[in-house]
Structure 1
């Protein structure tokens, strides 16, 4: 087992020079995701900047690189439970909360009324009966497969353009106050914000997900690849046609590891990588997603979801309870989940709300699920010193993949969250929005994100996907059947990096994939 990383403060004291943080200062009008942040002084910020500088030496692994989550890293397992372990630096006393949260994450919800009062309230419309049914083994979902009985772990988001003088949402009003004019959208007036493919007895489901695939040949230097282009459809609509202009976006459930560490990255460190005007001329112009926090009643930096539509692990968990399972929480209190007033039978169906809390899962339960989700550990790196992996890491840098997949950060100092506090982490993401081109476009705006923009997903643990989930499907809709296919789908701001990979010699391309598989 690889020993845990040394305390980050020791590492930051190495070296004599101080390097100032690059980029803009933190936006004072954006709330942080956590309330328990301890201040970082100027000297410490300079040491952090020194440690997180991109490396120029690819002859050997960097210090502590084998521990991508710092001291929270866990041992790399060889079975399907590799993503289901608790933070490596968690105390025995806190393990109980993790295990109880795991139980709630796996809980099978049932319809109300039920004798199992703590488990009723499912639906009435839903995509899954448990969190684990979508986040399979705490890993990735997948698109429909031939012969599969259902489409659990993928669904369609839906929205329609907002025309005329429709009232502004809080986030639209905030963005307009900053001089921005984001595309204004609303949930479908009948189907809501996402389509549910399951329902309780006596109610029709909203749809059945359909997809057809078209093979696309991609010539490369010395090799040929084949991509599959999906055409997604909402079939067998249970409540009439979709509204005019309805925009659909497929979303596969992402892996769960490292979420608490991503939440703990300082906002200003993320914003330092934003370059919306591409002032450095590298063709990459990431920008921050800004979302409205229903919990804090304030604008926040979006971090979670394929378009960074949620600001915190707790709010993302509550939104998933509401939209995916139809379970109300102290944040989203509608007992009928995503049902709309146009679905009268759904609204009128019995619910499992507790008369004391007014929710189907109370604040304690939501906190336990949040604790579990924050502490699903990132496994240690494998083969970090292998020559083909180091060669692939150099190619990854030369192709400027690191322009979006930023290798490392140092998390905030946190009071009461020792697992996430002040860790050197290697998530390979900037958590910013990037234009990925028409090939990956869903043509559905979300907040500041356009129909071609997506958040840079973290890459840590990506090489363990086949081991954990039994498949190798990647990207927001699972269209890529390999890591190479995922790279070849990159366009827009990532087109230059993709073309660099296409032009590589086959052995260099193989080294790049070996590096990605080691993460």
Structure 2
């Protein structure tokens, strides 16, 4: 039996076993009461779930960290939240910003360890959206080459005395999606225009891909999932004929100089938390590290020598503390998980095939370097695999094995607290969806059946699915 068939049977058994049947002596009919699974509230397992629903909900560490790890978490937190400054500066541990960058701190994009959003107006900076740039040619490791002049992302800010690389504007095209019951929902599609380039024109063959900064919770737990578990969800040739394949991305690991399975980033183009963090320091803030020691400088740059904050600008010791911080953020517990409406939404979510990619439950490995995260039953609602999401969501920008239509399944845990933490509800890779409902309606490709099934539900059933997702 293949993994998808087994999963469907398992979900069916869970449904049957979760029904509590009570019979009234006054009625011939039966009343069915759904109950949650055991420990379903522990999204991050019993060692890495926090029960805080305030605006700080994404910012807690596992209470099971060692004393040394808790200390490192605090130091990593300070480097994550505080602003970097241009060199030379008296704050030598935090200088080296730029000279070209998108944000002055990690928390500029991941405010309160949460999710970024598109600019509310053209010219608004530091909201957590950037434009990736790449060419159709690949390097020796299979990664696609950065754009010739501006590198692998457009940096729209520069330190004093330098001209920024350029700017971009966003306009929106609007259209309607219609449900089976005739209800219409307005969707918006962003159109990006790069303007005011200061160092020459872009290559004619460049692909431009917008990327939103995601919430940070549970990254270490995702890293701790055994590779064999994730590969068990692969069905690259769609052997079971359900229209869903899913494939792993394989990317270059800089530290080991080997190819490894990708887990992080919108196209699973980073193999581990450390490379994800170091890549963000380099691309987003202009901070060099031992993994990425070179500054991002446009080839048309003719300025004086570039000021730097050391070689590298963030030490391995400090980088490791930021990595520990990023890896050990707890996942918020489920809310309203015992509600009948939410439980009914959960059953519908499973029945319309959402759970074929948003896998509800996994177990972490017994060897992960953070001991508290070992052998944890977690509920991330992802398979971390690439899926063709159809032409409407396509960015036409390949990334290692990911083609222009493919995206990694994003984890859904914590999604319902984004409005509380970040005061917005914008979703998907570029924030085009203004809420959960719109995000579902943008699904296509391998998710087209799930979307159609959702569109055929009644309004009450659709709301139950949304209520369930917002409980995660």
Scaled by the length of structure 1, the TM-score of the pair is: 0.84
- Is the 1:52–1:409 contact (alpha carbons within 8 Å) kept by the matching residues of 2? no
Q: Which residue of 1 aligns with 2:362?
A: 409
2:11 and 2:248 mapped to 1: Cα distance?
Answer: 20
Q: Which residue of 1 aligns with 2:59?
A: 84
Q: Which residue of 2 aligns with 1:202?
A: 161
Q: Following superposition of structure 1 onto structure 2, how do residues 496-511 of structure 1 map, counting pairs within 5 Å?
A: 496-511=449-464
**Does 2:262 correspond to 1:309?**
no
Q: Which of the numbers 269, 286, 307 marks the counterpart of 1:350?
A: 307
Unaligned runs of 5+ in 1: 1-19, 24-49, 163-167, 173-183
1:492 and 1:22 mapped to 2: Cα distance?
Answer: 20
Classify the secondary structure of the residue corresponding to 1:463. helix
Q: Which of the numbers 176, 180, 189 marks the counterpart of 2:148?
A: 189
Q: Which residue of 1 aligns with 2:24?
A: none
Q: Which residue of 2 aligns with 1:518?
A: 471
Q: 1:51 to 1:119 in 2, by over 3 A?
A: farther
Classify the secondary structure of the residue corresponding to 2:279. helix
Classify the secondary structure of the residue corresponding to 1:216. strand
Q: Which of the numbers 277, 283, 288 marks the counterpart of 2:243?
A: 283
Q: 1:93 to 1:245 in 2, by over 3 A?
A: closer
**Does 2:125 correspond to 1:150?**
yes
Superposed CA deviations along residues 332-376 of structure 1, whole A, max 9, x for unmatched, are 111x2x224443438x311111xxxx3111111010000000011
Q: Which residue of 1 aligns with 2:22?
A: none
Single out whichever of 358-367 and 213-222 deviates more from structure 2.
213-222
- Is the 1:322–1:328 contact (alpha carbons within 8 Å) kept by the matching residues of 2? yes
**Does 2:408 correspond to 1:474?**
no
Q: 1:278 to 1:196 in 2, by over 3 A?
A: same
**Does 2:426 correspond to 1:493?**
no
Q: Which residue of 2 aligns with 1:239?
A: 199
1:149 and 1:505 mapped to 2: Cα distance?
Answer: 39
Superposed CA deviations along residues 466-503 of structure 1, whole A, max 9, x for unmatched, are 00100000000000001000000000000000010011
**Does 2:136 correspond to 1:136?**
no
Q: Which residue of 1 aligns with 2:79?
A: 104
- Is the 2:218–2:331 contact (alpha carbons within 8 Å) kept by the matching residues of 1? yes
Superposed CA deviations along residues 416-456 of structure 1, whole A, max 9, x for unmatched, are 41221110000000000000001100011111011000000
2:447 and 2:266 mapped to 1: Cα distance?
Answer: 17
- Is the 2:288–2:314 contact (alpha carbons within 8 Å) kept by the matching residues of 1? yes
Q: Which of the numbers 402, 411, 415 marks the counterpart of 1:449?
A: 402
Q: Which residue of 1 aligns with 2:100?
A: 125
State the shift of 1:409 in Å: 0.8
Q: 1:115 to 1:93 in 2, by over 3 A?
A: closer
Q: Which residue of 2 aligns with 1:339?
A: 297
Classify the secondary structure of the residue corresponding to 2:312. coil
Stretches of 4+ aligned residues off by more than 6 angstroms:
50-54
Q: Which residue of 1 aligns with 2:135?
A: 160
**Does 2:221 correspond to 1:268?**
no
Classify the secondary structure of the residue corresponding to 1:513. helix
Q: 1:332 to 1:53 in 2, by over 3 A?
A: farther
Superposed CA deviations along residues 310-350 of structure 1, whole A, max 9, x for unmatched, are 0000010000010001101111111x2x224443438x311
Scaled by the length of structure 2, the TM-score of the pair is: 0.92
Classify the secondary structure of the residue corresponding to 1:314. helix
1:443 and 1:416 mapped to 2: Cα distance?
Answer: 37
1:484 and 1:475 mapped to 2: Cα distance?
Answer: 11
Superposed CA deviations along residues 241-291 of structure 1, whole A, max 9, x for unmatched, are 101111100001001000000000001110010001000111101000000
Q: 1:491 to 1:262 in 2, by over 3 A?
A: same
Q: Which residue of 1 aligns with 2:280?
A: 320
- Is the 1:68–1:378 contact (alpha carbons within 8 Å) kept by the matching residues of 2? yes
Single out whichever of 227-236 and 501-510 deviates more from structure 2.
227-236
State the shift of 1:78 in Å: 3.2
Single out whichever of 432-441 and 147-156 deviates more from structure 2.
147-156
- Is the 1:313–1:373 contact (alpha carbons within 8 Å) kept by the matching residues of 2? yes
Superposed CA deviations along residues 223-255 of structure 1, whole A, max 9, x for unmatched, are 211111110111211212101111100001001
- Is the 1:399–1:497 contact (alpha carbons within 8 Å) kept by the matching residues of 2? yes
Q: Following superposition of structure 1 onto structure 2, how do residues 360-371 of structure 1 map, counting pairs within 5 Å?
A: 360-371=313-324
State the shift of 1:107 in Å: 2.2
- Is the 1:151–1:209 contact (alpha carbons within 8 Å) kept by the matching residues of 2? no
Single out whichever of 478-487 and 76-85 deviates more from structure 2.
76-85
Unaligned runs of 5+ in 2: 19-33
